[in-house]
């Protein structure tokens, strides 16, 4: 039997050299693998923080609702509504007026985030209340934030620089809703809890406050504990049955929901006869 030389692959020196190469290479490979795993873990953690932490972003909201990782939006009763502070139009305007554009964007994001999360662990909700002069009543469409219902656009009676964008989501908008331009409506406090969802600053320093009622449920008249959609009355013949949809439309972002009604051109307005525009002095002189 031929003896194994010191230079062969089976020799002691060769084995020691191979073991040395393996020992020197293994830690580098393990360190690289661990670094990759740590990087992937950190990336996934950051991704989850962004997605779950900011559900108001269209892509995040679409992913969370598709994976059913976000609880459906729900309505409240007056006794179960989350706590907050009621603001007049003037007070709310003064609070937000100093916001720079980036601050206003961040503020709007927080407002929507809290709404989508059902105001869990939030006790400083911003509610709007007061009297407003109706400018228009518009029906919400499928591409609006709320895909069904009515939105009332009006102006504050006490602070004209505030425009109301009052969203009234409903499964079946009423066929009859008699609320004309110039009518005065009241946005009540605890019985409605109109929560602020978005603020839009116009070029002339006017602000549009989009609000939606949180109190949209009421106990049934029977002993059954089933909750019913609540009827909300703005006027004698302006009643709508409110409904909180489990999801809203965030893409495209249509804020404010209501649209400004283009006024009729002056040349389209029927001119009154001259005799109807006689001044009081001329009438007294004629007598």
Q: Give the end-to-end CA distance of the chain in Å, rounded to a whole number.
A: 148
pLDDT at 274 over 50: no
What is the rounded CA–CA span in Å between residue 162 and residue 76? 27
Q: How many CB atoms lie within 10 A of CB 79?
A: 8
Query: What does the DSSP 8-state code read for residue 15?
Result: H
Residue 88 burial (CB < 10 Å; 0-12/13-18/19+)? middle
Question: pLDDT tens digit string along 203-243?
Answer: 999 999 999 999 999 887 655 567 889 999 999 999 999 99
Question: pLDDT tens digit string along 108-128?
Answer: 999 999 999 999 989 899 999
Name the residue among 214, 194, 202 with its Cα closest to residue 87.
194
Q: Which residues of 177-214 are buried (b: 16+ CB within 10 A; e: fewer)?
A: bebeeebebebeeeebbbbbbbbeeeeeeebbbbbbbb
155, 163 Cβ separation under 8 angstroms: yes
Q: Which residues contact 95 (CB under 8 A, 6 or more apart)?
A: 87
pLDDT at 267 over 60: no
- Residue 127: the pLDDT is 98
What is the rounded CA–CA span in Å between residue 94 and residue 205? 12
Q: Tell me which of 10-19, 84-93, 161-170, 271-280 is least confident.
A: 271-280
Q: Tell me which of 146-150, 181-185, 225-229, 257-261 is least confident.
A: 225-229
pLDDT at 139 over 50: yes
Name the residue among 214, 206, 209, 213 with its Cα closest to residue 198.
209
Q: Which residues contact 168 (CB under 8 A, 6 or more apart)?
A: 149, 150, 151, 152, 212, 213, 232, 240, 242
200, 255 Cβ separation under 8 angstroms: yes
pLDDT, mean over the chain: 83
207: left (phi over 0), alpha (psi -120 to 50) or beta: beta
Q: How many CB atoms lie within 10 A of CB 62?
A: 13
pLDDT at 185 over 90: yes
The reported pTM is 0.77
């Amino acid at each position: 039997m031929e003896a194994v030389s010191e230079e062969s692959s089976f020799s002691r020196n060769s084995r020691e050299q191979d073991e040395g190469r393996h020992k020197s290479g293994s830690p580098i490979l393990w360190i690289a693998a661990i670094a990759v795993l740590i990087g992937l873990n950190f990336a996934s953690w950051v991704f989850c923080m962004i997605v779950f932490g900011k559900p108001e972003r269209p892509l995040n909201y679409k992913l969370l609702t598709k994976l059913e990782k976000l609880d459906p939006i729900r309505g409240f009763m007056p006794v179960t509504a989350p706590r907050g502070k009621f603001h007049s139009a003037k007070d709310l305007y003064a609070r937000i007026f100093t916001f720079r554009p980036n601050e206003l964007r961040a503020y709007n994001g927080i407002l929507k985030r809290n709404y989508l999360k059902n105001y869990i662990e939030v006790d400083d909700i911003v509610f709007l209340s007061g009297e407003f002069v109706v400018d228009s009543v518009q029906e919400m469409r499928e591409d609006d934030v709320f895909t069904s219902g009515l939105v009332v656009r009006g102006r504050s009676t006490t602070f004209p620089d505030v425009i109301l964008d009052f969203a009234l989501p409903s499964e079946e908008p009423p066929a009859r809703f008699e609320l004309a331009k110039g009518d005065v409506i009241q946005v009540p406090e605890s019985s409605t809890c109109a929560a602020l969802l978005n603020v839009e600053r116009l070029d002339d320093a006017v602000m549009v406050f989009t609000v939606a009622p949180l109190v949209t449920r009421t106990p049934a008249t029977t002993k059954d504990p089933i909750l019913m959609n609540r009827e909300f009355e703005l006027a004698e013949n302006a009643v709508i049955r409110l409904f909180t949809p489990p999801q809203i439309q965030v893409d495209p972002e249509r804020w404010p929901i209501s649209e400004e009604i283009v006024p009729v051109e002056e040349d389209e307005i029927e001119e009154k006869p001259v005799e109807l525009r006689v001044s009081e002095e001329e009438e007294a002189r004629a007598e």
